[in-house]
Amino acid sequence: MRMTILLLAAACVVEAARADVQKIQATLPGNEDFEAPEALQDMQEGVIWLDLRMTPQLEPSIERLDGTYADEGCNGHGPVDNVKSVGIRTGSNHLILDVRPGPQDQYGANLVSCDYAPTYSTDFEPGHVTRVTGCYFAHATSIPTAVWWILNPLPADACHYGD
């Protein structure tokens, strides 16, 4: 009986810890013109699991580790390597988002990728969305007329990834 109670208590602690991780899942642009998706508007400071897709209309700015910037758009499909930060246009002038994925050897759950999306294909490109996923600590800083979110990398276990 005592073992059953201990197992139930441990399960409750794990579920409570998981509840502390915000799940932010959105596609940019959102449904409303000049507005960030609701998931981003409702974001609070703390640990988040991010799954964000950006259509070619809101292509992010990708800074590489060497300080150079990636060409606009994806050059092929798959992971984008050597990313220092991703500047994301949210569709709103009042919400700015910078994501810092961190080194892959330390933050393996964090990924920037160009995913195949035939919906956005053109005569020149087979179609893609840029995707940013992973575990981050969200910090908000206030600037005139806007909130600037800076997402710093956390290891996957901080988001209970793989539990």
Q: pLDDT for 135-160, tens place per residue?
A: 999 999 999 999 999 999 999 999 99
pLDDT tops 70 at residue 1: no
Q: What is the DSSP string of 73-134?
A: S-SSSEEPPSEEEEEEE-S-TTEEEEE----TTT-TT-EEEEEE-GGG--SS---EEEEEEE
pTM above 0.95, yes or no: no
pLDDT classification of 163: cutoffs 50, 70, 90: low
Q: Mean of the pLDDT values across residues 120-135?
A: 92
- The tens digit of pLDDT for each residue in 25-49 reads 999 998 888 889 999 999 999 999 9
